[in-house]
């Protein structure tokens, strides 16, 4: 039996680092953001549909993400139209991964797990979390966005407390050691569940 674990968490919570911990422990990990990059790259599966809807967003047979951001900035309704194109393709990519993967535990790293309803396809969901102060300082330390940009992104995401309430596991990523220990505990619990199934 293969166990599907959804991994989610808001910006700056340590989701990518935690996903790597699952990979290091032998789980097969699928990354939603990486799937979108594959769809947007030169001659990717989303390029022609995005180009038909937003001609200025495609350059040299690839989707220009900064052009898309500009389009969404001017017309917020564009985001919904992009999602209608991209979400089914992302789901297809995820299913292909699940069919190919050889691990007993498949981890699906999906930032918008609950927002897209992807949690319904999982056997369990783990949410990564830290205090709002650590979350903010982590994001601002990256130097890729202003505090205003961070707050705008955070405020668009489902509140952390709601994600935690809807998850089967919560991984506190305040320290790497603590996060790694929790990942190990989750893997052991899942293996036990699978062997008793």
Of 28 and 195, the structure prediction assigns the larger pLDDT to: 28
Number of residues that make up the chain: 197
Which ranges in the chain are annotated with CATH 3.40.50.300? Answer: 1-27+105-197
Of 20 and 156, the structure prediction assigns the larger pLDDT to: 20
Out of 18-32, 33-47, 141-155, 181-195, pick the least confident. Answer: 141-155
Per-residue pLDDT at 156: 82
Share of the chain above pLDDT 90, in %: 86
Per-residue pLDDT at 30: 98
Over range 3-26, report the average pLDDT: 96
Per-residue pLDDT at 195: 85
Out of 7-11, 39-43, 159-163, 190-194, pick the least confident. Answer: 190-194
Per-residue pLDDT at 1: 77
Fold of the 1-27+105-197 domain: Rossmann fold (3.40.50)
Per-residue pLDDT at 189: 96
Share of the chain above pLDDT 70, in %: 99
Per-residue pLDDT at 196: 82
Question: What φ, ψ does residue 159 adopt, rounded to 5°?
Answer: -55, 140
Mean pLDDT for all residues in the chain: 94
The pair of structure tokens assigned to 173 is 């990523």
Over range 64-79, report the average pLDDT: 90
Decide if pLDDT at 137 tops 80: yes
Q: What angle do CA 86, 87, 90 make, to 5 degrees?
A: 85
Over range 125-147, report the average pLDDT: 94
pLDDT digits (tens, 9 = 90+) for 91-105: 999 999 999 998 999
Per-residue pLDDT at 63: 96
């Amino acid at each position: 039996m293969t166990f599907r674990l959804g991994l989610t968490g808001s910006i700056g919570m340590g989701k990518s680092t935690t996903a790597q911990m699952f990979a290091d422990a032998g789980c097969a990990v699928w990354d939603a953001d990486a799937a979108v990059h594959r769809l947007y790259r030169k001659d990717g599966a989303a390029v022609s549909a995005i180009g038909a809807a937003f001609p200025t967003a495609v350059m040299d047979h690839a989707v220009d993400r900064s052009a898309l951001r500009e389009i969404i900035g001017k017309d917020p309704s564009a985001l919904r139209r992009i999602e209608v194109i991209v979400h089914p393709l992302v789901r297809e990519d995820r299913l292909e991964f699940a069919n190919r993967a050889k691990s007993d535990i498949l981890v699906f790293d999906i930032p918008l797990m609950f927002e897209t309803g992807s949690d319904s396809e999982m056997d369990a969901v783990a949410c990564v979390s830290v205090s709002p102060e650590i979350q903010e300082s982590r994001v601002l330390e990256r130097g890729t966005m202003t505090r205003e940009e961070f707050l705008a992104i955070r405020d668009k995401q489902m509140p952390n407390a709601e994600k935690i309430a809807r998850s089967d596991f919560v991984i506190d990523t305040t320290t790497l050691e603590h996060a790694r220990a929790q990942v190990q505990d989750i893997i052991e619990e899942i293996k036990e569940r699978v062997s008793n199934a």
